[in-house]
Structure formats: C-alpha cells, structure tokens
Amino acid sequence: MTTKAGTTNGVAQHEVTIQAPNIQEAIFRIRGTAPYVQNKFSAKAREQMHATQEKGHVAKKGARREAKDFQLMYEQALHKGPDGWYGIPAPAFRNGLISACRLVGFVMTRAKLSLFIKPDGFDEDDMSPLVRIIKGEPKYFESAVRLESGVIDLHARPMWDAGWEADVKINFDADQFALQDVANLLTRVGLQVGVGEGRPDSKKSAGLGWGTFEILSN
C-alpha cells in the first residue's frame, strides 16, 4: 500500500509504503530419532478442577482420594483429531522454532510474528490445533514423576517409538526468513529443542532426550 506526499488542510503529508505480507508455505516430512511421549491435560482433570473451584474453600475438607484409573489416564492423555487419528499439538513446533531463534541471534519477538504452523485438524476434545502423526502407533507407558509438591507419583502416558513420522506445514514471512532458514531452524528444533514430554528444552528439567527428530524431505 502506498500513499503519496501532499498537503491536506495545510498539514504536510509524507509518502508511506507498506509492502503486502509475503507469507509462503513449506512442508517438511520429519521422523522421530527418539520416542515421543504425550501428556494432554485430560477431560477428567478439567472436570475435577471445575468441581473443586465450584466448591470453593471447603473443597478439600474431608475429600476422599479416588482410586487412579491408569488406563483411563493413558487414553485421556492422547490428542485425537477428526476420525480418530493421533496428532502432536501444533504449538509444540511453533514454540520450538521460536525457542531455537535464541541459538542463532534472531529476535524471538519477531519470530512470533513470522512463523506459523498450519494444523491438519483440531483435537476432538479441547480443540487444540494438531499436526497429524502419519507413521507409528502409541503404546502404554508408565513412569514415576516428581510433582511440584515434591511428591513422587505414577503417571500413564502414550509413547511412540523412535521412527514416528509427521508432515509439518510451516507458513513463514519470506521477508524475514528464506526457505533454507526455516529448514535450518526446524533442524535445530529436532536436534536441540524437541517436542513433547522429556524433550531437551523442557522448562521443568534438562529433559530425557525424548521428542527429537530429523528432517527427511521438504
């Protein structure tokens, strides 16, 4: 969009040029080089939180701790898209790309305005945008975790063995990034950031080496 210099009501006007957005799309086939472990905030947990908040201050008084249904915990930790396919939350890749910018000196706040993940669909339960897993099936995985209170608890989670695959569709501002820049950033995400539980760039730990991947093609 361009406006030309001139005078309006005695006020000098200056020429301003704003280029149209140059958003392009690239599709990358990725393959997991380590297991991918998922941890969705379950519908049951949301229901319990809702009930607790409705009760207010008396919520915990005399509360009885329910028996843990590990199979249900596993099933509700899965992200499922339309028709029952499994997916990885699209923000995991977008956040990973933005985080990887720290390694190459690119301003993260600009990256937030320049990199976007195009989802394959939305979670049938919580409407999270998802990238479809096109190869690999989840299996039941149980592990001990330390809660913020310091208590050790057992959690059941879905795990995909190394070799899982997905097509990641990235929309990027071509005035900020070249295609090779995007490919290099995604490569760094796969090597140094990861996705899911136990990833190298986990906010709560140094990770377990899970959720890493490599680019097969674009």
Domain coordinates in residue numbering, the chain: 22-45+67-217
CB neighbours (10 Å) of residue 94?
A: 19
Q: CA 100, CA 108: separation in Å to the nearest integer? A: 9
- Give the up-direction half-sphere exposure of residue 213: CA atoms within 13 A in the CB hemisphere: 32
- Give the up-direction half-sphere exposure of residue 82: CA atoms within 13 A in the CB hemisphere: 5
Q: What is the pLDDT of residue 203?
A: 84
Q: CA 123, CA 88: separation in Å to the nearest integer? A: 10
Measured CA to CA in angstroms, residue 211 lies from 75, 122, 179 at distances of: 19, 21, 24
Report which of residues 158 and 63 the model is more confident about.
158
Q: What is the pLDDT of residue 44?
A: 46
pLDDT in tens, 75-99: 999 999 989 999 999 999 999 999 9
**How sure is the predictor about 55, in pLDDT bands with cuts at 50, 70 and 90?**
low
Share of the chain above pLDDT 90, in %: 68
Segments of 62-185 assigned E as strands? 87-89, 115-118, 121-122, 129-135, 139-146, 152-160, 165-173
Measured CA to CA in angstroms, residue 218 lies from 98, 185, 190 at distances of: 20, 13, 14
Q: Coil, helix or strand for 143?
A: strand
pLDDT of 6 above 60: no
What does pLDDT average to over the chain? 87
104: tokens are 């190459």
Share of the chain above pLDDT 70, in %: 81
